[in-house]
Amino acid sequence: MDSNYRRIILSAVRGKWEAGNVRRTLALLELRRSRGYPPREQENVKYKGANPHLVLGEKEFLHAITSIQSAQLPLRRSRNIYLHESTFSESALDNPTRYLDAILINMSKRGVPLRPDMAARMLDCYASTGRTGRAIHYFYKVRRDPVEDDGTYIPGPHPTHLGKEGLEDWKTEKRGEGVTRVLATAVSENVSNGLDGDESKEGELGLKGLDDDDSETQSSMPTQSNRRSKIRMAMQPLPPFHKIPSSVKGVPLIRNRYQPITNEGPSKANETSSDEVQNKTMTKYEWELDRDWSLALTAAFAFADSLTHGACGHDPIELDIVGWNILIKACCRRGAIHRALKILNETMPQKGVEPDTYSYNTILAALARVGDTRYLQEYLIGMTNKGVKVDKYTAQAMVDGFLNVGDIQGATSLVQDIFNQHDTLPPYTSHLKIIEFALANGLIFEAKRHVYFIQQLWKWQPSQHHDEKFCQLMEETKRNPKLSREAVLKLFRYFGEDLSDQDFF
């Protein structure tokens, strides 16, 4: 009976972590401790659901850690990046230190030692709450311009605010200037499977029409009010200079509590009130160290420091490569990229821990999100000089960074260079993204240039110098239906363009 009761309680623990109910999970852990039940043992490693990285007694504590991350899911999905993180009511989930301390105390009282692997899983709770506004910038919006019934398209934003007559006069004027062109895709009277609304979701190219089959009486172009529309990308201004790490490296900045940082000196508005004189000259790295930058990030480093000195009855431990990588990820998601670079370049080497591919990929992805192409290139070179392996996520981050700033030609050349020098390719979505960006910006030649590169991948043949893993990658790329000739033709038709037999070899 006692063993059945223990199983019931453990099942309840599992149910609570799956539901993300943190407090009830911790209450059940305490109940198991008070009843004297031993910690749940790991299943046999031959079992399908076994985790070979866990040791005896760690399983139920892993459930408790997972419950915290499950509860953080709404925060990851719906975080308002325009508000400071301190305004969120879910501050306990944004800064889960007290929950993690409770788990550590329960582990200590039940004789389960803390290992670097479990410490890294705990630290990941600080890095799994999503990105804040300081780590994100929207580089473009997707617009949809109408296409006339005869297939004529006038590039650029259409002044709909002029009214119907004013819009017609504008079209007549543009036709007289000779800026119009006829789209290659044949005009269709029966157009369906389009998209609704004047604008697709900000920062995303809607490709719903690509999932539907074409017929002789259908066009794969999107529609608006039963009329075809041309997808166009409107580039936004670049991020403010203080968001780009390479722009503020070592530069003294003026920061105060009430106004954004500037390099133009103190604000006159602050001279009137002594209570508001918060101006202080500091570097961007010093500002990121400030507690007010991110309370959750400050708590993450304080928690990591406590683990290295012995926390909640446990012996002191040293973080391994996984733990340091998670701290880098936490910095990048809070926009503290300089702090992440400090860990990568100085802290980890001082601790005798060599950065790996994941360390660099996390940094590169963060730099790509703010469009810092200068640092992207520098750290890619530094990565290769140190012999760190370049993988598909490295290439993906580089492509995203160049596309965000509108350097489509650079992104295409970069993919080819990484392929030739490092025998790797980005995920197939990056190939499609390059073509989409080129077509949405009217760079038809660049789109066809990347299609030519994809065709070279189709024709690739292995040699004795290629290893088995690379050959497998190439075969998967060649067989990928999303990169087939039919898929590429469909993608071009979606943007109102066409590929002829001369574009293929």
Determine the Cα–Cα distance for residues 363 and 341; give it in Å rounded to an integer: 7
Provide, for the chain, the percentages of residues in helix, strand and coil under a 3-state DSSP scheme, each rounded to the nearest 5: 55, 5, 40
Residue 312: other Cβ atoms inside 10 A: 17
The per-residue pLDDT for 90 is: 54
Q: Where are the alpha helices (DSSP H) in 90-191?
A: 91-94, 97-109, 116-127, 163-177
Determine the Cα–Cα distance for residues 233 and 253; give it in Å rounded to an integer: 34
Contacts 24+ apart (CB under 8 A), 346-354: 348/321, 348/324, 351/318, 351/319, 351/324, 353/319, 353/320, 353/321, 353/324, 354/321
Q: Where are the alpha helices (DSSP H) in 128-219?
A: 163-177
- Give me 412's structure tokens: 């295409």
Rounded mean pLDDT for each run of 10 residues along the chain, 505 residues in total:
45 45 86 83 49 70 88 81 66 83 90 89 91 90 84 82 86 83 56 37 42 46 77 88 86 59 43 48 85 88 91 88 95 94 94 94 96 94 93 95 94 94 93 94 92 92 84 90 93 88 85
**Based on C-alpha coordinates, what's the Rg of the chain?**
27
Q: Residue 381 to residues 329, 392, 478, 490: CA-CA distances in angstroms?
A: 21, 16, 29, 37
Whether 498 and 184 have beta carbons less than 8 Å apart is answered as yes
The 3-state DSSP class for residue 145 equals strand
Whether 236 and 141 have beta carbons less than 8 Å apart is answered as yes
Determine the Cα–Cα distance for residues 158 and 146; give it in Å rounded to an integer: 8
The per-residue pLDDT for 447 is: 94
Q: Where are the domains of the chain?
A: 140-235, 249-282
Contacts 24+ apart (CB under 8 A), 99-103: 99/22, 99/26, 99/64, 99/68, 99/125, 100/65, 100/68, 100/125, 100/303, 101/311, 101/312, 102/26, 102/29, 102/30, 103/26, 103/29, 103/61, 103/64, 103/65
Place of tokens 């650079």: 410
CA-closest candidate to residue 376, choices 419, 407, 349, 346: 407
Determine the Cα–Cα distance for residues 331 and 415; give it in Å rounded to an integer: 28
Which residues are CB-neighbours of 208 under 8 A, at least 6 positions away?
193, 195, 222
The per-residue pLDDT for 305 is: 93
Whether 429 and 477 have beta carbons less than 8 Å apart is answered as no
pTM above 0.85, yes or no: no
217: Cα within 13 Å, side-chain hemisphere: 2
